[in-house]
A and B are shown apart, each in its own frame.
Chain A
């Protein structure tokens, strides 16, 4: 590969330059362009002019700051691409700003780079953004990393001092599973070891930066891997149906039998169509093509076409290495859409397993991912997701999370299928061939869980039963899971300790999930006093969990006391009773709140029934509060 002869007919090799703010990235780029004679006529004069205007001698970084606002602020705002040439090989430098809030610009620039130059101030060593950027290089899949130890003049080119920095940066990279291709001791400002060998570091025998760049390997061909052709769109022009998509890897030939999507429909490639080219009998990785199929089946966007002998993995729960791009934290229970090539799946964050601490690069269990943080999490979908695990150098497993507004909120390279974490028992749940859509069509509504929480005596069971009668009459397949009923059978081994109450909630949630999966509408009536327990239920149930707060104040409940329990608790005959000597944590943002201390049973039932009907029959306005 390194023997390849390059010419201007070749693609430019993208190189990303990253590093902590003020470690010298922009200076390096300015110097590199100057030393390789890559500047347009007049550009150097322009920089000198701009520098003078601002009272500076010569500031190489002005070259990049082609936006007025950047110059005035002294910060590079966005990633920029700058071409330069070494011999016959062309490069594009992607400049990634070091300022922390511009993380998403760096990813935008870095994602398609072949190699990275990590600039580290030799005197300061690795800093917060050095770690953050190195982590991103790892997650985005860049394997060829050149570390430029900059400002080595400040260490007087002292070999021992330079090697000490090198050692600490190596340890840092190793923690991330990265290995530097090499370390170059340099001074970008003075040009040492950039394009020419420095006389000030005679002990350094390695390549200069430009020599190192010239030997960056070109990307490996993906044509010899197993075929993956994700459907991008289906067109019908002049009565012919075309299935359009880009071959992500492998090769497809006219006459091949391919398997389509999770439905696994086989079809034959009848033709590969194109305009203004010689007819194709095959197409390989990277090509955007259109095929016709025999029989003329209609795949959906996102369906993967593959050969029968090399199928992708399939799972409804996947473990991903998240890089989170929002300024607010991410928590379990949040919903997103997972984009994977052209497929898009509704997913719920069902577990946050490991959160990375950027100060020391250790991993901890956590309940939330911090703003712009890194973590290993589990995403669950209602249907199976077809994927190949993330592999640098391919487009496999490149998951991206988008929110409801179709804004990109994070990268989610897929590690593999997620097993249910509890005790990691080896179980193989069999998948139903009856789809969610089949069930919806048969029943005329979605399966869903309405989780009624509230104090004892607030009216949960009364409302649940009244709603059940009403919904059943309307043709809804509905079940009530009531706390006392569960404790009479399934949970009769459990008491009222906190651990037992959590287990009670867990069992109720698991049963509710099974019934929901079978297409039923489930109304759970359970005190479930702790927020963490209800979060657990939400996590187990995933999509279609609606929290309903049955809100009556303690005085009202105690006055009603239909089962005589408050009296018993006050008399000290029972302990750990919610509201008396155990806490009730009211929901912060329930999907529905029924004020049963004020409203009549009739009014509250009506509100609940309307909410359920709107939610399960996909009507709008389901989120209105009572």
Chain B
């Protein structure tokens, strides 16, 4: 088994644990590269189908290419797609910096979805190498009644045993991609032929490395216009993947505050 095989096998194992132990369960589909890989892995785990709903918590501010992609592949992949709306930015914590405040809408939209569908498990495509606070996550991460992440009191997790405590109002975030690196995601996309929004590829010397809301996400300088070129670029780069995500950089702790409150 090569490294990608190992990552795939581990993610399949995690998805099968989640499907067995957490009901009702749903997967978040942000339409980005990581969540496409995640849908693909679910199809690997469950012999070509996704046996739980796939949710898109829609801020209404994604790129038009992303909406087109969503509608096309929801059909092609035979997904049970649930759409969730987000409250207006005026309802969000005014003490957050502007981009983080805008991103907080997604947290509120997600919380509403979780309550509406009484979800016990929510599968999300975050990775440890993306960002410092995500590095501290568990594969099965319990969220309290207000969806808060209690960083200082995380359960032990070892030997592929995942705690599944259940109390009224809490749910578990499941992170099947936690061990993947950005370059692993791209190599797997290349190996498997997983479709992507073409915003990830260079046009006029710029491409998106990470996709979020169109007003708070910016492209990076790049001439990589094919999968092979993107992989080659990543082998040498030393800038961070989320450099183009405004909310990460507004203040030292903005992203952490978002995550503690339930952001992905």
Binding site for B on A (CB under 8 A): 8-12, 39-41, 66-69, 77-83, 104-105, 107-108, 110-112, 140, 232-233, 235, 237, 242, 244, 246, 273-276, 284, 286-288, 290, 301, 325, 339, 341, 395, 398, 400, 402, 405-408, 411
Contact = CB atoms under 8 A, between A and B. Distances in A.
User: When A and B form their complex, which 3 residue pairs have the shortest distance between CB atoms, in order from nearest?
Assistant: A66-B132, A111-B158, A104-B156
B168 interface: no
A275 B136 contact: no
B78 interface: no
Residue of B17, B135, B157 with highest tally of chain A CB at under 10 A: B135
10 contacts: A10-B3, A82-B135, A105-B154, A108-B158, A111-B158, A288-B8, A288-B13, A395-B160, A400-B159, A402-B161
B46 interface: yes
A374 B140 CA distance: 26
B38 to A, nearest CB: 15
Contacts of A233: 16, 19-20
A367 to B, nearest CB: 25
Given A41-B239, A111-B159, A287-B1, A276 B49 contact: no
Contact of B9 (A68, A237, A287): A287
Contact of B135 (A66, A104, A341): A66
B151 A67 contact: yes
A41 B17 CA distance: 38
Nearest to B183: A8
Interface of B: 1-3, 5-10, 12-13, 16-17, 19-20, 40, 43-49, 51, 128-129, 132-133, 135-136, 138, 151-152, 154-161, 163-167, 181, 183, 187, 192, 235, 238-240, 252-253, 256
Contacts of B132: 66-67, 80
A46 to B, nearest CB: 9
B252 A68 contact: yes
A77 B1 contact: no
A235 B6 contact: no
A246 B13 contact: yes
Given A233-B19, A233-B20, A286 B6 contact: yes
B175 to A, nearest CB: 13
A126 B7 CA distance: 37
A274 B240 contact: no
B237 to A, nearest CB: 9
A68 B3 contact: no
A405 B20 CA distance: 17
B135 A80 contact: yes
A107 B135 contact: no
A246 to B, nearest CB: 5
Given A66-B133, A79-B136, A80-B135, A407 B155 contact: yes
Contact of A108 (B17, B157, B164, B256): B157
A402 B166 CA distance: 13
A32 to B, nearest CB: 16
Nearest to A284: B1
Nearest to B253: A68
Contact of A242 (B3, B47, B136, B187): B47
Residue of B158, B192, B235, B238 with highest tally of chain A CB at under 10 A: B158
Residue of B1, B49, B136, B256 with highest tally of chain A CB at under 10 A: B136
Given A66-B132, A68-B252, 6 more contacts: A67-B256, A107-B156, A244-B16, A246-B13, A287-B5, A406-B164
Contacts of B19: 233
A405 B47 CA distance: 31
A112 B6 CA distance: 14
B11 to A, nearest CB: 8
Contact of A411 (B1, B138, B158, B160): B158
B226 to A, nearest CB: 18
B181 to A, nearest CB: 7
Contacts of B165: 405-407
Contacts of B152: 69, 77-78
A10 B6 CA distance: 10
Contacts of B166: 405-406
B6 to A, nearest CB: 6
Contacts of A111: 158-159
Contacts of A10: 2-3
